[in-house]
Structure 1
Amino acid sequence: MQALARQQLLDYLQQLKVERRVSAHTLTNYQRDLKHLALFCDDRQCEDWSTLSSADILKHIAERHRAGLSSKSLQRELSAIRGLFLFLMKTGQVDNNPAQHVKAPKQARKLPKTLDVDQVCALLDAGANSVLEVRDVAMFELFYSSGLRLSELSSLDLADVDMHDRQLMVLSGKGGKSRLLPVGKKAVQALQKWLKVRPSVDDNERALFTSAKGKRLGNRSIQLRLKQWCIKKGIPESVHPHMLRHSFATHLLESSRDLRAVQELLGHENISTTQIYTHLDFQHLAEVYDQAHPRAKKTK
């Protein structure tokens, strides 16, 4: 493609970063997705974005589908392409959006795996035998207590947690959004134990969860610690941090029936994202209905 077209792409990515403040993860994905579109254009000797038609976009998506991309990944690629052309239209550089009506092939929505309450209790009550395990229990309790994403937990600083009021502030949520979350009694107790033994190698380190060397614990390290914890404590289920978030949402919805509250706690922008947990809870709802509805009770 021409130098102008590549500069337009860079301008769009810069707009995503500066004006829309998308996460670094989203920016990297969009950059990769649009790079594939640029390669598609190079193969067909398209000189600029305005020469692309809806048929071209459809062909590109079909090729990516044959390459093995999932429906979810294709939907994200289309979102990136639509966003690029919307930016070019607003800046008067193209006349239409050829990706506007192109759709990705549908894929069955997978329900997230969760733990039941007994499994969560077994995981969290297994007992800590070292300083690092005290830290690990505090991390796992906080995942389940507040429904945090992995990146949100690893980004927490000491100042983000208010032990007195039993709450924490997520400053680096998805999309750069912040939210205030409650912290449960068990999680507060676990955090208090951890803060008593937290390594103070570097007094300038603000991270809540640190390594033995006093440095902020990264996402991958947290994932590995949870995996090792389950192996060591004889927990057969393959547990990952997001499973604790899913379990938090499911158990809270089972007890409260308040979908909007769960949406706020999880930090979901759209309630449709939260509604997946209603599918997980349907069997429980059916049981309640059978027991409570006067015209549904089974005769003895």
Structure 2
Amino acid sequence: MKTVVLEPFFHKTKEQIGIRFERDNSLQKVVKRIWQAKWSQSNKFWYVPLSRDSYDRICKAFNGKAELDITVLKQYLEKRKKVQATKVPKPLPMQIDSQVVSMPRGSITRPSAAFNISSENLHALKLTVQHLMLKAYSASTIRTYRGELLVYFQQLGNHPAQTLTTEDVKRYLQKCLQDGLSENTIHSRTNALKYYYEQVLGRQKFFFEIPRPKKHLQLPKVLGELELTRLFNAISNKKHKAILFMAYSAGLRVSEVVNIKLRDVDSDRMQLFVEKSKGKKDRYVTLSPVLLDVLRNYIRLCKPRPKVYLFEGQGDPGTQYSARSAQKVFQLARIRAGINKEVSFHCLRHSFATHILEKGVDIRYIKDILGHFSIKTTERYLHVKKEQLIHIPSPLDDIWKKGAIEW
């Protein structure tokens, strides 16, 4: 029997059910008879408004004529339930300049309205979150965009966000700069607004003429070998030490360290598999011989032994260690080691990259090891053969050989 795939998508900011199938005249006749069914020229499939009634009509129309694949639609509806169950935080009090955006009919808000989000803008916020989830954006990106839009909608008061023009948004961002917001915050808010206006509302090139502030070039903060030795020796807990070793040994982000599963450690090929890291990219990195010995020793002593993740929390078996806990481990080690630099867990990644660069490793390899999209100091989109990456030694091995680190 023929298969018809039902999938969710947005059309003019409204949720729809896409009806996708291989070209077939008999199925074309069936779908044309479904009430409210329309053809999408850009997507090349039929669609109806997303509702229970629409779904029932689809099931009735294709009954006995085709099998319905609702896997993607079901996943989306389950995600949507979670979004709808999430309460939007109460807006924070803030002073709003009524001239932030000059509108033909007056100012965008009154001081008395500055503490609320209008129902229309609240709906826009929920719609944007749903859209992000449908596009499978990461939880971190969704949180960031949601937070930036929450502030934006607060500041608009009762004025509908969808009625603003490019010039209005320009003036708003200019006011943000005048109020002292950092370049990074402006970039983050611009990204969120760009997504809302161009992706959710479908206004193509809405931000084409809106410039972005130049980012401050911030050099990475790095620890030297002696500082790293003190840092590692300041921690006696085997799990905590293994977490720090792994981050430095392979140049991993904190989220990547806590997301490593037991199955991701390949001792035969001496590789670590990093799954769905930043940008949803998979990659392989070197598994240092020293790190492998450390991990084996840690697992042997760990009670209870990890079941799924390499580093698991104290809750239910199989739950991963939290990134926040790993960051606290680093800060505790930094304080105990007497390191006064203002550095975070991420400096282990910076230190790894800097140290292997100093040892002569080609920057093109470093780009792929770290999983970067690009490195400004080398050619853009430069790729290297993946199999060469596993032969690059870890800087942890060099420090270990000097015999200064305790285990």
Deviations 1:239-279 (A, max 9, x none): 4210000011111222235222211111112333989xxxx
Task: Return 5+ residue gaps in structure 1 as ranges.
Answer: 276-300
Whether the aligned pair in 2 keeps the contact of 1:199 and 1:212 (CA below 8 Å) is: no
Report the residue type matching 2:191 in the other structure.
Answer: S
1:1-300 paired onto structure 2 within 5 Å: 7=123, 9-19=125-135, 21-43=136-158, 45=159, 47=160, 49=162, 51-88=163-200, 90=202, 94=203, 97-124=205-232, 126=233, 129=236, 133-200=237-304, 205-211=307-313, 216-272=320-376
Report the residue type matching 2:312 in the other structure.
Answer: T
| Cα separation, 2, equivalents of 1:232 and 1:183 | 28
In the superposition, relative to structure 1, how do residues 265 and 88 fare at CA in structure 2: closer, same or farther (>3 Å)? same
Report the residue type matching 2:304 in the other structure.
Answer: S
Per-residue deviation, 1:237: 4.5
In the superposition, relative to structure 1, how do residues 41 and 234 fare at CA in structure 2: closer, same or farther (>3 Å)? closer
Report which of the two structures shows the higher radius of gyration computed on alpha carbons. 2
| Cα separation, 2, equivalents of 1:211 and 1:9 | 33
RCO higher in 1 or 2 (8 Å CA, sep ≥ 6)? Answer: 1
Question: TM-score, normalised to structure 2's length?
Answer: 0.57
Per-residue deviation, 1:99: 3.0
Per-residue deviation, 1:163: 2.6
Per-residue deviation, 1:116: 2.1
Whether the aligned pair in 1 keeps the contact of 2:118 and 2:157 (CA below 8 Å) is: no
**Aligned length, in residue pairs:** 261
Deviations 1:125-167 (A, max 9, x none): x2764xxx22122111111111111111112222221233221
In the superposition, relative to structure 1, how do residues 112 and 199 fare at CA in structure 2: closer, same or farther (>3 Å)? same
Higher strand share: 2
Task: Return 5+ residue gaps in structure 2 as ranges.
Answer: 1-116, 380-407
In the superposition, relative to structure 1, how do residues 30 and 168 fare at CA in structure 2: closer, same or farther (>3 Å)? same
Higher helix share: 1
In the superposition, relative to structure 1, how do residues 27 and 34 fare at CA in structure 2: closer, same or farther (>3 Å)? same
| Cα separation, 2, equivalents of 1:56 and 1:256 | 51
| Cα separation, 1, equivalents of 2:341 and 2:151 | 38
Report the residue type matching 2:180 in the other structure.
Answer: G
Whether the aligned pair in 2 keeps the contact of 1:230 and 1:238 (CA below 8 Å) is: no
In the superposition, relative to structure 1, how do residues 141 and 88 fare at CA in structure 2: closer, same or farther (>3 Å)? closer
Whether the aligned pair in 2 keeps the contact of 1:161 and 1:167 (CA below 8 Å) is: yes
Calculate percent identity across the aligned residue pairs. Answer: 27
Deviations 1:100-141 (A, max 9, x none): 3222333422111101233324433x2764xxx221221111
Q: Which residue does the alignment assign to 2:87?
A: none
Question: TM-score, normalised to structure 1's length?
Answer: 0.75
